[in-house]
Amino acid sequence: MWTTWAASDSVAWCEVLIPGWGFRAFWFLAAVCVQLGGLMPLVVVTWSVRKTSGEDGLFGLQTAQIRGGVSNLMSGKCGGRAGIRKFYKKSNEPLEYLPGVSIVKPLMGVDPLLSENITSHLELRYPNFEIIFCVEDPNDPAVELVESLFRKYPNVDARLIIGGNGNMVNPMVNNFLPAYESAKYDLVWLSTSRIKANTDIMVDMVRKSEDPRVALVHQLPYYSDQRGFMNAIEKVCFGCALGRSAIALNHMGMLCFTGMSYIVRKSILDRYGGFARFGKFLAEDYFCSKELFENGYKIVLSAYPAQQNVANASISIYITRMVRWLRLRLNMLTIVAAFFEPMIECVNLGFLTALSLRYFFGIPMITTMAVHISLWMLLDYFLLRFVQGGPLPFSFLAFIFAWWTRELLTYVIYVKAVLHPRTVKWGINTYHLSLGGHTELLHTPTGSGGSTKRTKSVDLSPITFHEAAPSEIVPPKAVATSTTPQEHIWRHFTRNGYIRSSADRQHLTLVSDA
């Protein structure tokens, strides 16, 4: 009985510990374990109060602010301002000693706030950096926007690469791979189109990258302040649901990474094949960080959340994105995503706890659920204010509605994801996922009938760039609107000469002004 770990023996073991309870004790202990597992991120974040109260960054925020929240509940005092100061604490070290950074920003289409996002990168006050914008389609309206901003900021070391790579299943990797390969600095900041930057964020990420054991510094995804109820839902999702797990797991030294904005050391990543190796996955950020983490490098969380600055958010867009992410996790981390993730949701944990307490002690389920959800919601509210770094742009009542909306949408997202777990739609493309995360692009014929074809990705070696002699440099006569595989698309870049990208998206030539 003591050496066999079957369920029946576990019940018998509980009978020995608590005579007369048997299966009821087994069920109760199992429910307690599940409850503790779900609360572990909150416990760890709270525990970090003592351990990191003197440290800078996001954990400094957690420690001081959670301590202030408890103090507020017990004595009516709040230590919020001190926590915010620790969270956004700046270094007085001169910027001249910071290394160069190559910012890679892939673009596709134009959002009403895209110009603001790009401008925030062009206005960075940093001594040594370059910005490489990437557009896959030469007729993309983002091309015109970027070129207009080049004229507005002529002294910024910036260039635009058009055409992408052409051999990657992952559309984002396909877009930014030539820019990554052409980066002239070892620190490469991958900043997606929806991210708004500032100098403090950049300096913090660079400083954390100076440790030779650190290969990647990333930001907790968050949302900028926008009008509308959807902004509250997005903030609750990223600041609470994702925030509590990401902060706790990173604090414990475990891998929890979302690749919306991060700095990676190119010399380290290239030892393991660079991004060309991970283009066969839609979740290239996860597999990239996993490779680095398993080889002994640190993945560090920045002190500043990533500011997603996107207009026209909607419930349908939110659900589509979350379904896509969950389907990726279902194929990469099947057991975790299918079974454990649902068990750490507030309502599910509360139901199990309430059922157990009613069964054993006769406590009404409604009482347990009310206390459980109220405490959980209150902790989430404190956590959201900590991540926000100041007052929220909506009321506490709006937070309650947004919190419940996100909680209920979780069940809709889960059902939609598990109904078709192997199919993911991203943009205009549809992909087939295999267990382990491998991805195949589904090409559907334009005509009626016919079968769907699958195209697998191809790993690439780094792209070689050829520098032309000064005499070979001539300005482009015009920008082609339609091309054949032998024609080329020219774009002019202030201070950087011209980038010539072939229309077949497989060859790239850098022509330098120097």
Which residues does the annotation mark as catalytic? 285
Q: With the C-alpha atoms ordered 420, 426, 428, 434, is the resulting torsion angle positive or negative? A: negative
- Can you list the pairs that 265-272 forms with residues at least 24 positions away whose Cβ atoms lie under 8 Å? 265/186, 265/187, 265/188, 265/209, 265/214, 265/215, 265/216, 266/102, 266/180, 266/183, 266/185, 266/186, 266/187, 266/188, 267/186, 268/215, 268/292, 268/297, 269/215, 270/462
Q: Measuring CA to CA, which residue among 360, 357, 4 is closest to residue 12? A: 4
Q: Which residues of 337-367 are buried (b: 16+ CB within 10 A; e: fewer)?
A: bbeebeebbbbbbbbbbbbbbeeeeeeebee
d(CA 117, CA 193): 7
Both structure tokens of 187: 């620190």
- Counting Cα atoms < 13 Å in the Cβ hemisphere of 245 gives 15
Neighbour tally for 243: CB within 10 Å: 26
CA dihedral sign, ordered 12, 13, 19, 21 = negative
Q: Which residues contact 387 (CB under 8 A, 6 or more apart)?
A: 61, 220, 222, 239, 243, 305
End-to-end CA distance of the chain: 79
Q: What is 306-366 written as a DSSP string? A: EEE--SS--HHHHHHHHHHHHHHHHHHSHHIIIIIHHHTSHHHHHHHHHHHHHHHH---HH
Q: Are strands 508-511 and 497-502 parallel, antiparallel or unpaired?
A: antiparallel
Angle between helices 23-52 and 242-251 (to 10 degrees): 70
Integer CA distances (angstroms), 500 to 176, 317, 340, 514, in order: 15, 35, 49, 16
Neighbouring C-alpha atoms within 13 Å toward the C-beta of 91: 20
Helix axes 23-52, 346-361, angle to 10 degrees: 130
Alpha helices (runs of H) in 362-481, residue ranges in sequence order: 365-388, 396-419
Residue 180, sorted as left (phi over 0), alpha (psi -120 to 50) or beta, turns out to be: alpha
Joined tokens for residue 448: 């009626």
